[in-house]
Structure formats: structure tokens, C-alpha cells
């Protein structure tokens, strides 16, 4: 098959502040919900915390140098609200200075900064006032966005408001898998709407301040009924598509919540009116024109309304994506009002997360978005990657063949989507570095660069070198010399 991309197609990698920075309580930073949640017994595997993570806060220049050596054209990073405005009080100059230095370092290296304002690390002080279940948090988010733009807007052109609101609303407030670990369905629906509102308010303010390239990133799936002839499976797929995809896409791109979702969630708080969750004027604020939509995609889902059958081979049972890694805390489903849905396996290969590998699903998703949403802006695949258990060879190399194949095959899937008419303009592999993987702590590695968690030494894996070669080939750039991607101490 032939892989081709349009002129100007952007190649990058992505990280998140809470997962890599460390320095959790240094230079004025105060606790985020993840600093607090990681200290709840059983919330995170092995009791791991993001206190040190991979120490990017202190090692940022060498990490940017590594990006340059690998030929990355763009770096998608997030700013920490808890570092920039600790406790959501006064602005912390040291926090803003870190991101200013990062942006300068990227520009000096010829790497385009791609900034995400919110990647799940709400200040704990804001959570203490109700968090995203509190409408006021949307307005506080817009204030935070203005602060960040005031410091970086002269050098940063690409602005993402939220990363994966599904996770920070439904996983955080309904299932309790993610911080803040609440299991309150009505609060989760309120969090969905208030994050939408915060997005719209921030976009309005950023536009007023002169920002030109603004979007949001959603994690989207294909919800495939196990039996397309079974009304129970069809209904389950509709519900998952609604709660994973359309409850986010429709308000943003159509200015409305889907009718079926309104019906499903009416008794769980999705109400409309002067004193209701969704107030007059909210949807107009939310549906601000977007310059791009970021799509995060790791796997798609077969869905059923029937209980799971036990697989004949126990090794095929995946890690439950809605269960806590530590196995101590009791958690629920993020699919509020549809908790009965199940996710049967299809016999496909599995990643280290127990997620099915199905590259054609990414093609299908990207094409579907353009077919179903006339107002769809250009797309960027802002996260795509895989966790596997890496082994360090005797010579110090990491021959991560499965991850390399996963990335190459998904890049082909993006090319196939473009050939089928999808307007995709960039691809960011997740993740640049091994990191604090939320509830899995340091037990799962997504990085194309290995981090030794004892020494914090960085070593590009074979997948990093393969990705560098892909970038060079796609852009007709000078081939990357593998020697230039040697181990960084």
C-alpha cells in the first residue's frame, strides 16, 4: 500500500504536564486533583504519584534537544493550571516562566509549540469548591486561559482548550477511575456541560485576544454492535456512541445535545431552562467556530447489551479499561444510565493495556466525522500510540517491534483516510516519553523514548527511530542519523 500526505502535513509527538513534569510542589505549584487522588489508597498502581514523574520540569532543555534530533516538527504539551495559578488564586510567575522557557526552547529548535490548556490536572482548591460539577469552574477556566495567552500568546499560535473531556468528566466524576475519583452520575453530566461551557468561554476570550488557531481534542471511538441484527446490541452501541462521541461532538459542531441523549439523561441532570444545567445562551457559547478538531484514538470498541461470555483462553481477557489498576477501590462505569453495556473481544491482537489493535478503525472514524458533520473543521490526530512491556537489550537498545508496527500501521490508516476524503492535517504520536500513566502509575509504557525511572536516563526506542524515518521520508527531509538519537543522560 502507498502512504502519502498532503503538503504541510504536520508530524509531532505529545505529552501532558501531570504525566511528565514532576516538581509537583516546587516553585509555587500547589496540588492538582491528580496529586491528591494518587494518594488515595488503591487509586494508583503501587501507590505511585506524579511527584517526580520523569522530571521534565528540570530536564526540559535536553528533552527538547531530543525532539529536534528525532526530527519532530511539532510538540503538543499541556500547561498546568495548578502551576500557573496555584489554588486558582494569584498568578505564579515561576510557573509561567517555565512554559515561557519551554516555548522559547522549542522555537529555537525549530519545533512548533502546540499548547493544550487542560489535560486533567484541575487545581485541588477548585475541586474543593465543586470542581467541574460547579458552573463557576467554567468561568475560572476562561480566566486561566487568558492568563496563559497573556504570557505565551506572542509566540504560541496553536491553542487546544481541553484534552479528552470524556475522561476528566465521565471517568473522573462517574466511574471514579480518574481524579477526582467521584462516583456521582449527575455530577458527571454537570462536568460534561461545564467543560463544554468553559471551552466556549475560553475560545471567545482567546479570539478577543487575537488567537487565530483554536480547537479542542476529543477521544473518539467506533461503537460497533456485536450482532448488527440484535436490537439489544444495536441499542448498546447507540448508547456508547452517544456518551463517548456525540455528547461532545454535537454541542461543539451543531450547537445542540442529541435528542436521544437528552432523553437518556433527563433524569440524571441533563436539563434545560433558566435554573437548569443547560441555561439559555449556553449552547451558542459552546458552539464557537473551531479552526481544528483534535482526534485521539487508540482503539475502537465492539459493544453488546448482553453480559460478557468468559473467553475460552483466559489470556485473552483484557485489563478492564474502566477498572482501577490497583484493584483495591470499587469503581463504576463511565457510561451513566447505560452501565449494563459490555465490550466483547473480537480476537484481535491486544496492546499492553488490553486494547484491541485495529488500525482500519482509525480510518473509519476519520472518514465518518467528515460525512456526519458538515461544519467539521480540519482534523489532527493529536494522540495515537500503544503501551507494551519493553525489554532493554544487552546493548542498551529497546527493540519495541509491536509498538513500531502499531505506529506504522496507524500512520497508514491516516493516509488511507485522507485518500478517502478526510481532511487530516497532522499526526502526533503518544507519547514522546514513558511517564506517569494515571491509574497505572509507572506500570505502563507508551513512550517512543524509554525513561529509566531510577536514573531518569532517556533512550530512544526503535519506534522513535522508525517514526523519525517516517517523518524524514514524508517530508523529503534529510534522513535522521540513528547515532544522533543516542542515549541522553
Q: What's the CA angle centered on 26, arms 132 and 383, to 5 degrees?
A: 50
Asked if residues 449 and 66 have their Cβ atoms less than 8 Å apart, the reply is yes
**Length of the chain in residues, anyone?**
489
Neighbouring C-alpha atoms within 13 Å toward the C-beta of 341: 27
Q: Nearest Cα to 65, choosing from 17, 109, 21?
A: 109
Residue 67 sits at φ, ψ, to 5 deg, of -55, -45
Asked if residues 402 and 357 have their Cβ atoms less than 8 Å apart, the reply is no
E strand map for 6-157? 10-14, 74-78, 112-118
For residues 235 and 350, give the distance between their C-alpha atoms in angstroms, rounded to a whole number. 26
Q: Which residues pair with 77 in a beta bridge?
A: 115
For residues 78 and 296, give the distance between their C-alpha atoms in angstroms, rounded to a whole number. 15
Q: Which of 30, 356, 383, 437 is catalytic?
A: 383
164 assigned to active site = yes
Q: What Å distances lie between residue 382 and 14, 215, 324, 403, 427, CA to CA?
A: 7, 11, 25, 17, 6
Neighbouring C-alpha atoms within 13 Å toward the C-beta of 176: 14
For residues 216 and 207, give the distance between their C-alpha atoms in angstroms, rounded to a whole number. 14
E strand map for 220-274? 223-225
Residue 76 sits at φ, ψ, to 5 deg, of -95, 115
Q: Which of 21, 30, 105, 164 is catalytic?
A: 164
ω into 17 cis (within 30 of 0): no
- Which three cell numbers mark 318? 483484557
For residues 210 and 108, give the distance between their C-alpha atoms in angstroms, rounded to a whole number. 23
Asked if residues 38 and 50 have their Cβ atoms less than 8 Å apart, the reply is yes
Asked if residues 382 and 217 have their Cβ atoms less than 8 Å apart, the reply is yes
Q: What's the CA angle centered on 104, arms 99 and 109, to 5 degrees?
A: 125
For residues 407 and 453, give the distance between their C-alpha atoms in angstroms, rounded to a whole number. 24
187 by Cβ neighbours in 10 Å (0-12 / 13-18 / 19+) ranks as buried
For the annotated catalytic residues, the residue numbers are 164, 383
Amino acid at each position: 500500500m502507498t502512504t502519502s500526505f498532503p503538503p504541510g502535513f504536520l508530524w509531532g509527538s505529545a505529552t501532558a504536564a501531570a504525566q511528565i513534569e514532576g516538581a509537583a510542589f516546587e516553585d509555587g505549584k500547589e496540588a492538582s486533583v491528580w496529586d491528591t487522588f494518587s494518594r488515595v489508597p488503591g487509586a494508583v498502581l503501587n501507590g505511585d504519584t506524579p511527584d517526580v514523574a520523569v522530571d521534565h520540569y528540570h530536564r526540559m532543555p535536553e528533552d527538547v534537544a531530543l525532539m529536534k534530533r528525532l526530527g519532530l516538527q511539532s510538540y503538543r504539551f499541556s500547561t498546568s493550571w495548578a502551576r500557573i495559578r496555584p489554588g486558582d488564586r494569584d498568578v505564579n510567575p515561576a510557573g509561567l516562566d517555565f512554559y515561557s522557557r519551554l516555548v522559547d526552547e522549542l522555537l529555537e529548535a525549530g519545533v512548533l509549540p502546540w499548547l493544550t490548556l487542560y489535560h486533567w490536572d484541575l487545581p485541588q482548591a477548585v475541586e474543593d469548591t465543586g470542581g467541574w460539577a460547579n458552573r463557576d469552574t467554567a468561568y475560572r477556566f476562561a480566566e486561566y486561559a487568558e492568563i496563559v495567552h497573556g504570557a505565551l500568546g506572542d509566540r504560541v499560535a496553536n491553542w487546544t482548550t481541553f484534552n479528552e473531556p470524556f475522561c476528566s468528566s465521565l471517568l473522573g466524576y462517574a466511574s471514579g477511575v480518574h481524579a477526582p475519583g467521584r462516583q456521582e452520575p449527575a455530577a458527571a453530566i454537570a462536568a460534561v456541560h461545564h467543560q463544554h461551557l468553559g471551552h466556549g468561554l475560553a475560545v471567545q476570550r482567546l479570539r478577543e485576544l487575537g488567537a487565530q488557531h483554536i480547537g479542542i481534542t476529543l477521544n473518539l471511538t467506533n461503537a460497533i454492535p456485536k450482532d448488527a441484527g440484535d436490537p439489544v446490541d444495536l441499542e448498546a452501541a447507540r448508547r456508547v456512541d452517544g456518551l463517548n462521541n456525540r455528547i461532545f461532538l454535537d454541542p461543539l459542531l451543531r450547537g445542540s445535545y442529541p435528542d436521544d441523549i437528552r432523553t437518556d439523561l433527563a433524569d440524571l441532570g441533563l436539563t434545560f431552562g433558566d435554573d437548569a444545567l443547560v441555561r439559555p445562551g449556553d449552547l451558542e457559547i459552546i458552539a464557537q467556530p473551531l479552526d481544528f478538531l483534535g482526534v485521539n484514538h487508540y482503539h475502537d470498541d465492539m459493544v453488546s447489551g448482553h453480559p460478557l461470555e468468559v473467553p475460552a483462553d483466559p489470556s485473552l481477557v483484557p485489563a478492564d479499561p474502566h477498572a482501577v489498576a490497583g484493584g483495591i477501590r470499587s469503581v463504576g462505569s463511565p457510561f451513566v444510565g447505560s452501565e449494563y453495556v459490555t465490550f466483547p473481544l473480537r480476537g484481535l491482537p491486544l496492546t499492553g493495556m488490553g486494547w484491541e489493535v485495529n488500525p482500519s478503525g482509525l480510518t473509519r472514524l476519520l472518514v465518518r466525522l467528515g460525512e456526519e458533520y458538515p461544519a467539521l473543521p480540519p482534523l489532527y490526530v493529536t494522540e495515537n500510540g500503544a503501551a507494551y512491556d519493553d525489554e532493554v537489550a544487552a546493548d542498551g537498545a529497546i527493540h519495541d517491534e509491536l509498538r513500531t508496527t502499531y505506529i506504522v500501521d496507524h500512520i497508514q490508516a491516516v493516509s488511507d483516510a485522507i485518500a478517502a476524503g478526510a481532511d487530516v492535517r497532522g499526526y502526533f504520536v503518544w507519547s514522546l516519553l514513558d511517564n506517569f500513566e494515571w491509574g497505572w502509575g509507572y506500570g505502563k509504557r507508551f513512550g517512543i523514548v524509554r525513561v529509566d525511572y531510577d536514573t531518569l536516563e532517556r533512550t530512544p526506542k526503535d519506534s522513535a527511530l522508525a517514526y523519525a524515518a517516517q517523518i524524514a521520508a514524508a517530508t523529503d527531509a534529510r534522513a535522521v542519523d540513528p547515532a544522533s538519537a543516542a542515549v541522553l543522560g
